[in-house]
Amino acid sequence: MQTPAPDSEFLPARFQPLLAAVVGIALAGMAIWFVAVGGLRGGLVHHDLAPTSDAVFTVDVNTASVEELAQLPGLGPSTAQRVVLHRTTRGLFTSIDGLLDVPGIGPATLEQLRRHVRPIGAGEHP
């Protein structure tokens, strides 16, 4: 392999301004694109964050397991166990308001649960 002579150029001097202009135009184009897609105001997609979802987790309190019930807002594993115990000893719930009979579920907790409990019976809505 031969070493180039010290007086030879990799890129002739007449092409260097042209290359500088192309690189400058490319950099300007990238900067314009970045601003146009919202880079300065945070409009770019953050790939590490999951997209938000409008889906709501719902359960049927008359068939749900302790594990399913424990995922509902305001219920933990012990309250979920009491829901299942109430259901097995006193029978199925006939309305969502029947959850108020379960120890540990009050009006505030029931309001948190309403959108997550499937309707019980005809005409009942969570």
The answer to whether 102 and 89 have CB atoms below 8 angstroms apart is: no
| Averaged pLDDT, 96-114 | 92
Say yes or no to pLDDT of 106 above 50.
Answer: yes
Four-CA torsion 38, 40, 45, 48, nearest 10 degrees: 180
pLDDT exceeds cutoff 60 at 125: no
- Domain encompassing residue 33: 16-44
Tell me: do 35 and 72 sit in the same domain: no
Which is more confidently placed, 8 or 96? Answer: 96
Per the structure, the count of domains in the chain is: 2
- Is 51 a domain residue? no
State whether 33 and 71 are in the same domain.
Answer: no
Structure confidence by residue, pLDDT tens digits, 57-79: 889 999 999 999 999 988 999 99
Cα–chain-centroid distance for residue 80? 25
> How many Cβ atoms sit within 10 Å of the Cβ of residue 80?
23
Asked if residue 58 is part of any domain, the answer here is: no
Give domain status of residue 57, yes or no: no
What pLDDT, on the 0 to 100 scale, is given for residue 21?
96
Q: What is the pLDDT of residue 124?
A: 43
Q: Report how far residue 9's alpha carbon sits from residue 113's, in angstroms, rounded to the nearest whole number.
A: 76
Residues 6+ positions from 19 with CB-CB distance below 8 Å: 11
Q: What is the mean pLDDT of the chain?
A: 84
pLDDT at site 40 = 75
113's enclosing H/E stretch is: helix 107-113
Q: Is residue 123 part of a domain?
A: no
Q: What is the CATH number of the domain that holds 74?
A: 1.10.150
**pLDDT (tens digit per residue) in 14-51:** 889 999 999 999 999 999 988 887 777 766 666 777 66
DSSP state letters, 15-73? THHHHHHHHHHHHHHHHHHHHHTTTTTT-S--TTSPPP------B-TTT--HHHHHTST
